[in-house]
A = this chain, B = another copy of it.
Amino acid sequence: MKKNGRLVLETVEGQGLRFRAETDTNHTFILDSGADARAPSPIDALLAAVGACSGMDVISILRKKRQAVTGYTIELNGVRRDEHPRSFTHIETVHQVRGRGLDRHAIEDAVRLSETRYCAVHATVAPGVALSSRIEVEQEGS
């Protein structure tokens, strides 16, 4: 099986819950769920992974379609179980795309392609979570 990463507990002493993650491409980042967390939690990372994975597909497709995007923000809204385990039951991804002369259908197509064909994170979590998405288009003067 391919080794994809490792995590090292940085807070062996005390009560901290901070891990340093090292990817197989030599990027490092911190995940922290301690009392005074200095970094995102694993739940934050999961949610961001869902949004960014799809967002990377969408912007790539919109560039190929020659859409003049000038700004792109993704809002993530999640619902979790009240009881343990506090897994996500629903994640909504809101794609807020700003640009000049944007074709709304092109954006809808891009989001659909990501969600049905390309986004590996989406496909990994889809069996366990209700995933939905919305698009907000803001046209700029040209």
Residues of A within 8 A of B (CB): 1-9, 12, 15, 17, 19, 21, 23, 25, 27, 29, 31, 33, 37-53, 55-56, 59-60, 63, 69-81, 84-88, 90, 92, 117-129
Minimum CB–CB distance from A66 to chain B (whole Å) comes to 13
The listed residue (B17, B55, B84) touching A59 by CB distance below 8 A is B17
Query: Which residues of chain B are near A40, meaning CB under 8 Å?
Result: 21, 23, 25, 27, 29
Copies per complex of this chain:
2
Extra A-B contacts (17), CB below 8 Å, given A5-B48, A42-B56, A87-B124? A1-B78, A1-B79, A4-B78, A5-B51, A6-B73, A7-B51, A7-B74, A23-B41, A27-B38, A33-B56, A42-B52, A43-B120, A45-B45, A49-B49, A85-B117, A85-B119, A124-B129
